[in-house]
Amino acid sequence: MGYEAARQLLVLHASRVIIAVRSAVKGEEAVASLKLDPEVKKHNPTAIIEAFVLDLDDYNSGLSFAQRVKREVKELDILLCNGGVNIMKYQKSVAGHERVMQVNCYTHVLIALELLPLLQATSKLRNAPTHLTFVGSATQTMHTLAKKPVAASETVLSHFDDQNIYSGLTRYSDSKLAVNAYVRRLSALVSPSEVIVNNLCPGLVATGFDKQLPAWLKPLMFVYRKIAARDVHEGSRTLVYASAVADATTHGKFLQSNKIDPGAPFLDQPAGKTFTDKLWAETVADIARFDENLKVYA
């Protein structure tokens, strides 16, 4: 959906769009395709379209990406944190954490905090709020923390890193619960008059997102998506709405079908609020190992 969201933003006259890609070659192909898109050529032929390499599996790559943005981009109106994976087999990231949590959560938070000052500076320049948007999911309600709570003797990050606790069927849900928790916590650090921070569920969308699922599950998901899924164009419109249209009422909120949704009730409970605070503090401490300036957000 990231590619289609970029295309739609270009059609809406975004003057410069940077897409994050894992491969420079794939990035060049995506940029060339966007430039040749008939609607982009018609509505925004002079747009600057670029691809920056980013591997969300690795904190160092996330930091390099953010540093490049800070070097080369003077104004940032939208930061759309879209990348994610769903892997039903325990894997470790380059950074040493469980991979789904790393890719869907931790590196995104590093990038978001690195670029938050640029979003704030652009807001002052525009005299209007910028947007920091994360792609979440309604599956957050299927999280495991009610049945497998974080023990007093462990940290939140170590809980998610524990292979004995890991469940391939629900880890994606855990990661999206964490995304909503991050958005709630981050929204308390910045005024919606400066940066609107939100997250959204695009719904079930017909994409290639299931390619890393086990062979037995792929046919089932293929049929399910054929029957129930939105097409990529429709799903991507929800990303564009949350990151470019949604107003201050969505600050710190979770959206479904472009409307505010309460998300997982757990986050409003005492245990959920404790989880959110611990998750935030531990994540900031973890990413501050790569940039000590991020400690200010603890």
Confidence category of residue 223, pLDDT binned at 50, 70, 90? very low
> Which domain covers residue 237, as residue numbers?
76-297
Note the pLDDT of residue 227. 46
Confidence category of residue 212, pLDDT binned at 50, 70, 90? low
CATH at 188: 3.40.50.720
| 161 and 264 housed in the same domain | yes
| 19 and 164 housed in the same domain | no
242-263: burial string, b at 16+ Cβ within 10 Å, e else: bbbebeeebbbbbbbeeeeeeb
Round to whole Å and give the CA distance between 44 and 9: 10
Note the pLDDT of residue 204. 65
| 80 and 47 housed in the same domain | no
Kindly report whether the global pTM for this prediction surpasses the value 0.75.
yes
How long, in residues, is the chain? 298
Residue pLDDT, tens place only, 27-51? 999 999 999 999 999 999 999 999 9
With 90 as the cut, is the pLDDT of residue 26 above it?
yes
In the DSSP assignment, the letter for residue 168 is T
Q: Is 176 a catalytic residue?
A: yes
Q: Mean pLDDT across the stretch 81-94?
A: 95
| 164 and 198 housed in the same domain | yes
Note the pLDDT of residue 214. 62
> Residue 210 corresponds to which tokens in the numbers above?
């299931």
Of residues 59, 106, 166, 172, which has the active-site annotation?
Answer: 172
Residue 243 lies in a domain: yes
Round to whole Å and give the CA distance between 67 and 3: 22
Residue 65 lies in a domain: no
Average pLDDT, the chain: 93
Q: Is 172 a catalytic residue?
A: yes
Q: Mean pLDDT across the stretch 280-295?
A: 99
Question: Of 168, 132, 174, which is closest to residue 279 (Cα–Cα)?
Answer: 174
- When divided into structural domains, the chain yields a total of 2
Residue pLDDT, tens place only, 235-269? 899 999 999 999 999 999 999 999 999 999 999 99
DSSP reduced 3-state for 50: strand
CA gyration radius, the chain: 18
| 107 and 42 housed in the same domain | no
Using an 8 Å Cβ cutoff, are 224 and 213 in contact? no
DSSP reduced 3-state for 294: helix
Residue 70 lies in a domain: no
Note the pLDDT of residue 210. 53
Of residues 59, 106, 166, 176, which has the active-site annotation?
Answer: 176
Residue pLDDT, tens place only, 131-166? 999 999 999 999 999 999 999 999 999 999 999 999
| 13 and 143 housed in the same domain | no
Residue 152 vs residues 97, 160, 185, 205: alpha-carbon distances, Å: 20, 14, 21, 38
| 31 and 159 housed in the same domain | no
| 266 and 142 housed in the same domain | yes
Residue 62 lies in a domain: no
Residue pLDDT, tens place only, 51-63? 999 999 999 999 9
Q: What percent of the chain has pLDDT over 70?
A: 91
Side chain identity, residue 225: R
Note the pLDDT of residue 231. 77
Helices marked H in the chain: 2-11, 24-36, 38-43, 59-72, 99-101, 107-126, 156-161, 171-187, 218-228, 232-240, 270-287
| 253 and 115 housed in the same domain | yes
| 40 and 80 housed in the same domain | no
